[in-house]
């Protein structure tokens, strides 16, 4: 990862980066407030040998001997024998339980210090003073020769213990600063780790690298999409409405050699905006003068009848079982001539019905009657309906919700289409964030909505899949009997 990648991750996961330092500081503040203040008092000794000062060799030898002894005395200071002597000196009970003694020998010197630490500063000072009294006596007893005489080593107090005014622990400033630094490191590490483990598809580049699928449209996220799914009809000047018109335009680059007579709109998982995309795409095609039929082929959880506000009692299943004709089942919607074939009564065997010969013959008939047939199909991973429909249509339009579908899920969905030798026309990246580091292009959907930079990028992505030809293409050939002038009035997708 480069520096720009880390900055993008921090910008995206800023809540996590801030949360962990705050939690660390809060935990440190709680522990610090609950901790008992500790005070210290230190006494320092000078360990020496009573050698003659006029003999340099003897003095040097005595110094080395004293340095060796200092290491042993450090252990002696924290031992039980000195503790008993200290208790006897100060005349108290439980001294060692309330005050801890730590000894430290300074390297390459004959200096030795003992530090008494406790919650009561007066008690700690009393213990340090008692150590200064009893330790030289204990050294003299241990170093006195067996036959009597002077001790070979003596310990002299060179720094008297003093009363500590401020506690040595806890230290709020230090603790909070360390907690803040540690929390910041944990926050950054957690953000980077979470981003590294996130294998969802967020950009057209990731989708192209995954399966070499051209992204024909990028639809921004709209929290009000559930209340106004038909954005092209309700708010035609919105950025999302312009995105669907851009999708309509980019379809002309998808299959130049063969006209797109029928398109299956599907997705890997539910809730990725396939039905909304199918409705808005059909409306934009109808607004451009194309004869369009929108077929609700999701026979499990149909949504189009609810979005369009039409009656779905008679529809696709009614035609397939022979209870209604196409003319009776197809309904007109809006002022632009959009035709809709609802799902009809939901059958117990949707996959078998969609794979029937009657469904294939009906699709052939619809392709002769309409210039474009948009088929809303169920998701690919839960059921096989969309893969079956893709075999009897011109191809599938693949809707993927940005930041939700994982790479392996997209691969499995595309593999389901490849298994039946279906054509993938292209992909539509839905619910892309409007702002933030994951917004398309890195700058969101503000300003003019889909401006020239976004449009050019989408067209280049669509053209990359079929760059061999550049001639314009209408969505379907002109009807039989029309003259050349009438044929030129047909509009491309």
Using one digit for the tens of pLDDT, what is the confidence trace for 349-382?
999 999 999 999 999 999 999 999 999 999 999 9
Q: How far apart are CA 1 and CA 436, in angstroms?
A: 19
Residue 95 has pLDDT above 60, yes or no: no
> What pLDDT is recorded for position 26?
93
What's the average model confidence in pLDDT over 304-314?
A: 91
Residue 255: pLDDT band (50, 70, 90) is: low
Residue 87 has pLDDT above 90, yes or no: no
Q: How far apart are CA 444 and CA 450, in angstroms?
A: 10
Residue 471: pLDDT band (50, 70, 90) is: very low
Residue 211 has pLDDT above 90, yes or no: no
The yes or no reply on domain 39-159 and CATH 3.40.50.920 is no
pLDDT higher for 367 or 76?
Answer: 367
> What pLDDT is recorded for position 470?
34
- Phi, psi (rounded to 5 degrees) for 273: 85, 20
Residue 463 has pLDDT above 60, yes or no: no
Q: CATH 3.40.50.300 residue ranges in the chain? A: 204-488
> What pLDDT is recorded for position 364?
93
> What pLDDT is recorded for position 420?
92
Topology at the third CATH level for domain 204-488? Rossmann fold (3.40.50)
Contact 374, 278 (CB under 8 A): yes
Q: How far apart are CA 250 and CA 394, in angstroms?
A: 16
> What pLDDT is recorded for position 55?
53
> What pLDDT is recorded for position 12?
74
> What pLDDT is recorded for position 69?
75
> What pLDDT is recorded for position 92?
59
Q: How far apart are CA 294 and CA 301, in angstroms?
A: 16
Mean per-residue pLDDT over the chain, rounded: 80
Least trusted range by pLDDT, from 12-16, 320-324, 442-446? 442-446
What's the average model confidence in pLDDT over 305-321?
A: 92
Least trusted range by pLDDT, from 16-30, 383-397, 435-449? 435-449
Q: How far apart are CA 391 and CA 24, in angstroms?
A: 57
Residue 268 has pLDDT above 90, yes or no: yes
- Collapsed DSSP state (helix, strand, coil) of residue 40: strand
* Highest mean pLDDT (candidates 166-170, 186-190, 319-323, 451-455): 319-323
> What pLDDT is recorded for position 251?
84
- Collapsed DSSP state (helix, strand, coil) of residue 338: strand
From the CB of residue 322, how many other CB atoms can be counted at a distance below 10 Å?
A: 8
Contact 275, 301 (CB under 8 A): no
With CA atoms as reference, report the closest residue to 476 among 217, 214, 274, 289.
289
Contact 175, 32 (CB under 8 A): yes
> What pLDDT is recorded for position 235?
87
> What pLDDT is recorded for position 472?
33
Q: How far apart are CA 350 and CA 342, in angstroms?
A: 14
Least trusted range by pLDDT, from 107-111, 141-145, 333-337, 487-491? 487-491
> What pLDDT is recorded for position 27?
93
Residue 487 has pLDDT above 60, yes or no: no
Q: CATH 3.30.70.1130 residue ranges in the chain? A: 39-159
Residue 480 has pLDDT above 60, yes or no: no
Residue 456 has pLDDT above 50, yes or no: no
pLDDT higher for 476 or 193?
Answer: 193
What's the average model confidence in pLDDT over 119-145?
A: 87
b/e sequence 98-131, b meaning 16+ C-beta within 10 Å: bbebebebeeeebbbbbbbbbeebebbbbbbbbb
Residue 90 has pLDDT above 60, yes or no: yes
């Amino acid at each position: 990862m480069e520096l720009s990648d880390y900055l993008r991750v921090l910008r995206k996961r800023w809540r996590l980066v801030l949360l962990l330092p705050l939690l660390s500081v809060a935990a440190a503040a709680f522990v610090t407030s609950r901790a008992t203040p500790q005070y210290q008092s230190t006494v320092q000794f000078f360990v020496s040998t009573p050698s003659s000062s006029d003999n340099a060799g003897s003095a040097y030898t005595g110094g080395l001997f004293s340095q060796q002894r200092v290491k042993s005395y450090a252990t002696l200071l924290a031992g039980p024998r000195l503790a008993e002597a200290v208790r006897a000196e100060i005349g108290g009970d439980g001294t060692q339980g309330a005050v801890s003694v730590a000894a430290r020998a300074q390297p390459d010197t004959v200096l030795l210090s003992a530090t008494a630490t406790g919650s009561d500063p007066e008690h700690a000072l009393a213990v340090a003073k008692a150590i200064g009294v009893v330790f030289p006596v204990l050294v003299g007893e241990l170093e006195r020769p067996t036959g009597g005489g002077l001790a070979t080593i003596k310990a002299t107090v060179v720094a008297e213990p003093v009363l500590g005014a401020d506690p040595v622990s806890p230290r709020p400033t230090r603790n909070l600063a360390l907690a803040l630094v540690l929390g910041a490191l944990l926050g950054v590490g957690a953000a980077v780790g979470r981003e590294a483990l996130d294998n969802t598809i967020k950009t057209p580049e990731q989708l192209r690298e995954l399966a070499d699928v051209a992204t024909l449209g990028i639809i921004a996220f709209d929290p009000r999409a559930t209340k106004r799914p038909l954005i092209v009809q309700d708010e035609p000047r919105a950025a999302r409405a312009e995105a669907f018109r851009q999708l309509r335009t980019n379809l002309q680059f998808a299959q130049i050699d063969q006209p797109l007579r029928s398109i299956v709109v599907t997705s890997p998982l539910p809730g990725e905006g396939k039905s909304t995309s199918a409705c808005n795409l059909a409306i934009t095609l109808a607004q451009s003068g194309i004869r369009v039929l929108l077929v609700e082929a999701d026979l499990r959880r149909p949504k189009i009848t609810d979005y369009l506000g039409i009656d779905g009692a008679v529809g696709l299943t009614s035609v397939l079982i022979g209870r209604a004709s196409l003319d009776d089942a197809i309904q007109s919607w809006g002022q632009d001539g959009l035709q809709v074939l609802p799902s009809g009564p939901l059958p117990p065997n949707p996959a078998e019905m969609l794979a029937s010969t009657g469904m294939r013959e009906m699709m052939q008939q619809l392709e002769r009657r309409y210039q474009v047939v948009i088929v809303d199909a169920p998701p690919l991973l839960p059921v096989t309906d969309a893969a079956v429909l893709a075999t009897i249509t011109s191809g599938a339009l693949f809707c993927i919700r940005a930041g939700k579908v994982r790479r392996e899920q997209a691969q499995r969905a595309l593999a389901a289409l490849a298994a039946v030798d279906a054509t993938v026309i292209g992909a539509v990246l839905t619910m892309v964030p409007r702002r933030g580091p994951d917004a398309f292009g890195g700058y969101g959907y503000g300003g003019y909505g889909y401006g020239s930079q976004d449009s050019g990028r989408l067209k280049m992505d669509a053209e990359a899949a079929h760059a061999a030809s550049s001639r314009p293409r209408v969505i379907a050939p002109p009807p039989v009997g029309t003259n050349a002038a009438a044929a030129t009035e047909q509009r491309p997708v």
